[in-house]
């Protein structure tokens, strides 16, 4: 495998004209051997080595290597001419030279007159003379579509018709068609007409994108040439830190806005003065130095094992604190052992951004089962493949290219690289008018739904349900209020609220500085409370209440939730959770499993859960649902069920649903009564 | 788009049976069914029912036969309003097509019909059995939530409060935003009050308002909160607000009976013209039959009134309700949770319960001359002979006995009028050393009281009613007006 790769690489290098730089030294040492030491044999061997290396790729060599090969031919011809047994080869060397570049001028100081005459005769016998005038110099010359040295003067061309073109940035290019004959000379005059100003921009560092009046004109590249290295001094950088100039033409007369952008650097905006564009002229702008632009990024995560990627670049493990990153937009991704988190972020220069990451369930669309053709098939398949664009709480993936549905399902079930699988198949009945979608966890809890491929938005409600997160808590300030005609009446207050000065039986008149006319007003203020406190008043001086999150139950069979997604999400949220939060997530998982009527699995989940809280949805609630699951397990578990309900009765303040839900004690007592023989 | 998961098993059964039908029969069954649907939508009911009957007769093995039976039953219920005619279709669906999803619908409808027609705990057992079958056989059926809610209602009628609460909470757990869950929450709150958990009841009612402010039950919860808060939490001293509706005097003709309808409106009976009226938007709308000597005014449904009189017992629009051995001299009456009239006679040793077409039952409660219903299915019964106010359960057993005058500054001898509200408060106009108004809570404790003198009102007050805002309406027969106390 590696060998094949190496061969491919070498072939590619040869095709691109890449040559061994040591050949230049070989040629130089060959010339020195002959000129200074008179070592003809040694010199000939080295010239032959150069020819052997370059001749096979002679037609693809660039201008520099072509000249070097021509030089080697010239010297070898001279050497052959002076060696008795090789004299006849000298003209062949010269013919090879002319094949390669008829414009090449041999070194007449080393070539004897006889050989010079032979060279001139060979050239005159095969090529006609064309004398070119190029104005202005520095343009690009092509003959018959091939680049040619852009030099004014005599050029040798094969007899027959030719087309020559000459172009230079800022000028209107010209093209001429002409006939070349042997022993004849033609004069061609390329005088270009100026069409716009040209400015040349150097940037530090290289790689910046240049935009004129909002339109991209290219990227600065390379390094400033030696003859312009003074520009680096002007910019206060080293020459290697300054790019080669990017020439920008097509500038209409007048002012222009130049914008220089480079990721991780502050964007520069410069005005191109009218004087630089009117009248038309070529100008170099002062070098543009770009200052680095950075911000600080912190990524928090309660779930362990996350790997942070910023726009695909591995940034190490999370949590990650105070990362110095370029100020720009990123696609932030945290890959967890299970689940994934993605978010588009914008890090501002000099600012600190904190992202709280958590693993979101990964959903893979595995494909469509069968090849049935039906109206709307392509549309529906396209919508399924693009479903990820509508999901924020689920990381969306599709099957590998060319992978069959069966293979994809098998791969993902074995690799566990996803938490959720989605596939589609035609619903029974012909012609196909409905499609069944199957959404399943890896542990088999699935939802099936049918869609009509031609309906307005077949996936609309599914996408909404998939993106809806199940809430397991609500804000709570320790107050139970009632809507009465005169206002929000305080029915009950917990110990903390009583201590803060709340008086049950009176109206609550103010919350967060706003009047409270009813319970809805208070709940709005509670939902908007920040910093964990809420100021409330009962017609007197305001008092400060602590705002906490009180646990609530996950509903089952809720039409607005997609339970495979809910279950997968709760499993991921459980990773790294601790204490009552972890137990509450366990309760949520159990209720989700009860939605699928998998009471045995729900029981397994509840067995591990313990809560310190004894009021509201708390330890008693866990015990009650443990008992409920055991009841569904059949008569064999009745004794254990009774134990669980008895355990639940030890928490008389435990409720169902939420803090304002019913006390579970009477229900547990009834369950115990029903269990009695 | 609809969820299919719930139908996997029934669908499998149907598909397993499919090979028994030839393909063209299957096609024909579907075409017949759709044809019936089209005709029904076009109100060509005869054509629709004939087509569906044809399908059932000719292709009974088709899954569409079950759908046709359900459609026929619904037609009888919703279009013809003939529940009796719907029953055979539903029974056939239940018995012959139990493996189809339509059997789940049939079980719920059967249970509902049986519950609506029941007049006693024994009647409602059949309804409960149907609901239980639906829950057990079709656990994923979309109607399970409603079945659980109706199981709760049935348990409540049976007086099985905790099991009722269990069923309501089960319904609430399933899709909390569904109408059945919201209705169940309201009922669960009411059940908590009956179980003695007033704070729990109020919390749950308010929670309903918080979570479903746009639901009709939110308005229902509002007055239930307010009535309880006024009567049991705030208990402000009773004050007269004067003639009611505001400022209207001498506008009636000897009002002697008052009642509050299920919708919260006030109904009254006038002795001068011997008939009942519905006080609707400030105007009197005649209601029910003309009956002389009315002793109690019953409102079984909004706009419908029955009168209890000494001669005929309960008189409805269509005539007197027969009683095998009518009480000699009825003095009061009420409707219990089943809709059965209870009639009392101070000279009789029993309260008579007229239960539908069945023979009247007798509850051994002697010498009662006034009755008012309680939300637990029982009644408040005033007995001047024993000078006690009894809080009876649905079987007529006294769960609380309150001696006249207990916790009042002075005793009283007579209860002139007795009334209650749907949340368990009982009010009476009393005569004796204490002459005025008394309000008791569901546990028999005095919540509020005032003498007429303290209220600054004078007249011949013959009737009282409790409104939804915690106020009391008094009928003054001598001044031909109503007075509101708050």
Whole-number average pLDDT of chain A: 92
> Is B300 in contact with B306 (CB distance < 8 Å)?
yes
Are B269 and B129 in a shared domain? Answer: no
Which segments in chain B show pLDDT lower than 70?
1-26, 322-325
Mean pLDDT in residue range A293-303: 93
Q: Which of A136-150, A441-455, A588-602 has the lowest mean pLDDT?
A: A136-150
Last residue of a domain, one of B103, B122, B142: B142
CA distance A558 to chain B (A): 4
Quick: pLDDT tens for A64-108: 899 999 999 999 999 999 888 888 899 999 999 999 999 999 999
pLDDT at B357: 72
CATH number at residue B364: 2.120.10.30
Query: Under a CB-based contact definition with an 8 Å cutoff, are residues A409 and A422 in contact?
Result: no
Same domain, B422 and B293: yes
- Residue where one domain finishes, among candidates B142, B157, B191: B142
- ipTM of the complex as predicted: 0.89
Asked whether residue A12 carries a pLDDT value surpassing 90, the answer given is: no
Confidence at residue A17, expressed as pLDDT on a 0 to 100 scale: 46
| pLDDT value of position A64 | 87
**pLDDT at res. A542:** 96
CATH of the domain at B81: 1.25.40.10
Whether residues B334 and B461 share a domain: the answer is yes
**Beta carbons of B372 and B417 less than 8 angstroms apart:** no
pLDDT at position A84: 83
Helix (H) or strand (E) holding A148: strand A146-148
Peptide bond into A625 cis (omega under 30): no
Indicate whether B214 belongs to any domain: no
B295 and B431 fall within a common domain = yes
Q: pLDDT tens digits for A401-443?
A: 999 999 999 999 999 999 999 999 999 877 888 999 999 999 9
Percent helix, strand, coil in chain A (nearest 5)? 35, 30, 35
Is residue B383 within 8 A of residue B366, CB to CB? The reply is yes
Q: What pLDDT was estimated at residue A371?
A: 87
Q: Are residues B135 and B251 located together in one domain of the fold?
A: no
Q: Give the pLDDT confidence score for residue B322 in this predicted structure.
A: 62
Domain assignment present for B11? yes
Q: In this structure, is residue B176 part of a structural domain?
A: no
Does some domain include residue B253?
yes
| CB contact (8 A) between residue B5 and residue A446 | yes
The stretch A47-53 carries a mean pLDDT of 92
- In this structure, the answer to whether residues B262 and B131 fall within a common structural domain is no
Three-class secondary structure assignment of B315-348:
EECCEECCCCCCCCCCCEEEECCCCCEEEECCCC
Its domain, for residue B11, covers: 5-142
Given an 8 Å threshold on Cβ–Cβ distance, is A667 in contact with B166? yes
pLDDT in tens, B409-445: 999 999 999 999 999 999 999 999 999 999 999 999 9
Q: Does A383 touch chain B (CB under 8 A)?
A: no
- pTM of full prediction above 0.80: no
List B388's β-bridge partners, or say none: B383, B403
More confident of the two residues A183 and A657:
A657
The answer to whether the CB of A256 falls within 8 A of the CB of A277 is: yes
Identify the pLDDT of residue A656. 96
Q: Is A67 on the interface with B (CB under 8 A)?
A: no
CB-based contact, A657 to chain B, within 8 Å? yes
pLDDT of residue B340: 92
Is B189 part of any domain? no
Q: Supply the pLDDT for residue A222.
A: 94
What local confidence, expressed as pLDDT, does residue B7 receive? Answer: 39
Burial A406-425 (b: 16+ CB within 10 A, else e): eebbebbeeeeebbbbbbbb
A·B CB contacts under 8 A: 119
Q: Say if A428 is an interface residue toward chain B (CB within 8 Å).
A: yes
pLDDT at A10: 41
Distance from the B23 Cα atom to the nearest Cα atom in chain A, whole angstroms: 12
Closest CA to B217 of B183, B244, B241: B183
Rounded Cα distance between B73 and B155, Å, is 26
Where is the domain boundary, B142, B169, B198? B142
Three-class SS of residue A190? strand
Note whether residue B410 is domain-resident: yes
Average pLDDT over residues A41-46: 90
Pair (B240, B138) in one structural domain: no
Looking at the predicted structure, is the pLDDT value of residue A376 above 70?
Answer: yes
Give the C-alpha separation, B313 to B326, whole Å: 7
Its sign, for the CA torsion A32, A34, A35, A36, is positive
Of A378, A400, A366, A389, nearest to A466 (Cα)? Answer: A389
Q: What is the pLDDT of residue B3?
A: 43
Q: Pairing between strand A533-537 and A507-508?
A: unpaired
Report CA torsion sign: A246, A249, A253, A254. Answer: negative
Kindly list the distances between the CA atom of residue A100 and the CA atoms of A26, A58, A71, A80, B351, in Å, as whole numbers in the listed order: 21, 7, 11, 19, 128
Q: Specify whether B328 is located in the same domain as B437.
A: yes
CA pair distance B1, A457, nearest whole angstrom: 10
Instruction: Tell me which residues of chain A, numbers 539 to 558, contact chain B at a CB-CB cutoff of 8 Å.
Output: 553, 555-558
A451 touches chain B (CB under 8 A): yes
Quote the strand ranges of B107-199, DSSP E: none
Count of domains forming chain B: 2
Task: Count CB atoms within 10 A of the CB of residue B217.
Answer: 21
Neighbouring-strand partners of residue A535: A544
Question: CA–CA separation, A210 vs A287, rounded Å?
Answer: 13
Q: Tokens for A344?
A: 């588009």
Which residues have CB under 8 Å from B63's CB, separation 6+? B14, B17, B18, B29, B100
CA nearest A174: which of A200, A207, A139? A139
């Amino acid at each position: 495998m590696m060998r094949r790769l190496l061969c491919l690489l070498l072939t590619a290098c040869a095709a691109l004209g890449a040559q061994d730089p040591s050949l230049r030294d070989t040629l130089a040492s060959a010339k020195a051997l002959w000129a200074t030491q008179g070592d003809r044999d040694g010199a000939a061997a080295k010239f032959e080595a150069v020819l052997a290396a370059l001749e096979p790729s002679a037609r693809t060599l660039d201008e520099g290597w072509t000249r070097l090969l021509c030089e080697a031919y010239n010297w070898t011809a001279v050497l052959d001419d002076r060696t008795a047994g090789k004299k006849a080869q000298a003209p062949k060397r010269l013919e090879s030279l002319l094949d390669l570049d008829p414009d090449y001028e041999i070194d007449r100081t080393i070539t004897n007159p006889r050989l010079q005459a032979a060279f001139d005769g060979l050239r005159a016998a095969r090529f006609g003379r064309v004398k070119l005038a190029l104005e202005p110099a520095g343009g690009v010359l092509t003959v018959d579509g091939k680049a040619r040295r852009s030099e004014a003067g005599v050029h040798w061309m094969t007899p027959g018709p030719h087309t020559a073109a000459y172009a230079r940035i800022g000028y209107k290019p010209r093209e001429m068609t002409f006939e070349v004959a042997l022993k004849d000379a033609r004069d061609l005059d390329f005088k270009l007409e100026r069409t716009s100003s040209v400015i040349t921009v150097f940037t530090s560092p290289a790689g910046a994108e240049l935009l004129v009046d909002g339109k991209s004109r290219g990227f600065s590249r390379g390094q400033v040439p030696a003859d312009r290295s003074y520009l680096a001094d002007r910019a206060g950088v080293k020459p290697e830190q300054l790019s080669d100039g990017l020439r920008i033409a097509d500038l209409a007369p007048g002012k222009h806005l130049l914008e220089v952008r480079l990721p991780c650097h502050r964007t520069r905006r410069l005005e191109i003065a009218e004087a630089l564009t009117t009248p038309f002229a070529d100008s170099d702008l002062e070098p543009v130095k770009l200052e680095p632009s950075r911000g600080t990024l912190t990524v928090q995560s309660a779930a362990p094992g996350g790997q942070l990627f910023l726009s695909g670049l591995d940034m190490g493990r999370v949590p990650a604190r105070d990362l110095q990153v370029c100020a720009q937009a990123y696609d932030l991704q945290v890959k967890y052992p299970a689940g994934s988190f993605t978010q588009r972020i914008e890090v501002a220069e000099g600012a600190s951004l904190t992202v709280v990451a958590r693993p979101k369930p990964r959903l893979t669309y595995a494909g469509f089962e069968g090849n049935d053709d039906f109206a709307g098939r392509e549309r529906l398949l396209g919508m399924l493949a693009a479903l990820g664009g509508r999901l924020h709480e689920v990381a969306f993936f599709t099957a590998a290219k060319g992978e069959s549905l069966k293979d994809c399902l098998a791969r993902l079930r074995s690799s566990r690289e996803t938490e959720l699988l989605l596939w589609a198949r035609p619903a029974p009945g012909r012609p196909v008018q409905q499609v069944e979608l199957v959404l399943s966890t890896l542990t088999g809890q699935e939802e099936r739904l049918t869609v009509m491929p031609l309906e307005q938005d077949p996936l609309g409600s599914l996408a909404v349900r998939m993106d809806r997160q199940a809430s397991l808590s609500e804000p709570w300030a320790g107050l139970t209020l009632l809507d009465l005609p005169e206002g929000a009446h305080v029915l009950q207050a917990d110990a903390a609220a009583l201590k803060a000065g709340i008086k049950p039986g009176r109206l609550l008149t103010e919350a967060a500085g706003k009047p409270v006319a009813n319970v809805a007003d208070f709940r709005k203020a509670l939902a908007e409370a920040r910093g964990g406190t809420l100021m409330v008043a009962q017609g007197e001086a305001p008092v400060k209440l602590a705002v906490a999150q009180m646990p609530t139950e996950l509903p089952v069979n809720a039409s607005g939730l997609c339970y495979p997604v809910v279950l997968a999400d709760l499993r991921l949220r459980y990773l790294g959770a601790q204490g009552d939060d972890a137990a509450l997530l366990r309760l949520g998982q159990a209720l989700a499993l009860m939605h699928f009527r998998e009471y045995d699995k729900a029981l397994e989940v509840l067995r591990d859960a313990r809560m310190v809280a004894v009021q509201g949805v708390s330890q008693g609630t866990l015990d009650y649902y443990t008992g409920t699951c055991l009841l569904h397990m059949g008569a064999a578990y009745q004794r254990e069920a009774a134990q669980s309900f008895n355990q639940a009765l030890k928490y008389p303040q435990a409720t169902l649903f939420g803090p304002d839900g019913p006390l579970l004690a009477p229900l547990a007592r009834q369950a115990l009564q029903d269990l009695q023989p | 788009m609809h969820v299919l998961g719930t139908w996997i098993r029934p669908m499998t059964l149907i598909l397993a049976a499919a090979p028994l039908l030839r393909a063209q029969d299957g096609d024909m069954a579907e075409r017949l069914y759709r044809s019936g649907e089209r005709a029904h939508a076009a109100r060509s009911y005869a054509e629709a029912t004939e087509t569906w009957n044809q399908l059932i007769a000719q292709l009974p093995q088709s899954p569409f036969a079950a759908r046709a039976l359900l459609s026929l039953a619904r037609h009888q219920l919703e279009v013809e309003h003939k529940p009796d005619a719907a029953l055979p279709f539903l029974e056939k669906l239940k018995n012959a097509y139990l493996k189809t999803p339509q059997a789940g619908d049939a079980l719920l409808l059967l249970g509902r019909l049986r519950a609506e027609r029941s007049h006693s705990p024994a009647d409602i057992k059949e309804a409960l059995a149907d609901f239980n079958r639906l829950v057990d056989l079709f656990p994923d059926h979309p109607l399970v939530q409603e079945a659980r809610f109706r199981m709760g209602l049935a348990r409540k009628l049976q007086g099985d409060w905790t099991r009722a609460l269990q069923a309501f909470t089960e319904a609430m757990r399933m899709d909390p935003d569904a109408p059945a869950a919201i209705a169940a929450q309201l009922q669960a709150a009411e059940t908590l009050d009956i179980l003695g958990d007033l704070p729990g009841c109020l919390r749950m009612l308010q929670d309903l308002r918080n979570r479903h402010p746009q639901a009709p039950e939110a308005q229902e919860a509002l007055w239930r909160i307010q009535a309880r808060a006024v009567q049991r939490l705030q208990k402000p001293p009773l004050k007269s607000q004067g003639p009611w509706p505001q400022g209207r005097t001498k506008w009636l003709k000897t009002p002697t009976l008052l009642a509050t309808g299920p919708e919260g409106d006030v109904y009254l009976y006038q002795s001068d013209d011997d008939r009942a009226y519905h006080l609707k938007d400030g105007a009197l709308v005649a209601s029910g039959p003309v009956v002389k000597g009315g002793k109690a005014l019953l409102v079984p449904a909004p706009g419908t009134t029955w009168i209890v009189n000494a001669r005929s017992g309960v008189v409805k629009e269509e005539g007197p309700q027969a009683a095998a051995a009518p009480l000699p001299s009825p003095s009061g009456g009420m409707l219990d949770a089943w809709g059965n009239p209870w009639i009392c006679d101070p000279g009789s040793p029993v309260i008579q319960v007229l239960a539908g077409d069945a023979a009247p039952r007798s509850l051994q409660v002697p010498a009662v001359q006034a009755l008012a219903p309680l939300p637990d299915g029982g009644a408040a019964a005033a007995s001047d002979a024993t000078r006690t106010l009894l809080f009876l359960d649905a079987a007529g057993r006294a769960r609380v006995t309150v001696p006249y005058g207990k916790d009042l500054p002075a005793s009283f001898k007579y209860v002139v009028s007795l009334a209650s509200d749907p949340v368990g408060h009982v009010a009476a106009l009393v005569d004796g050393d204490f002459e005025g108004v008394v309000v008791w809570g569901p546990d028999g404790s005095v919540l509020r009281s005032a003498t007429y003198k303290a209220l600054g009102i004078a007249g011949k007050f013959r009737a009282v009613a409790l409104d939804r805002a915690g106020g009391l309406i008094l009928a003054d027969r001598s001044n031909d007006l109503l007075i509101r106390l708050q």
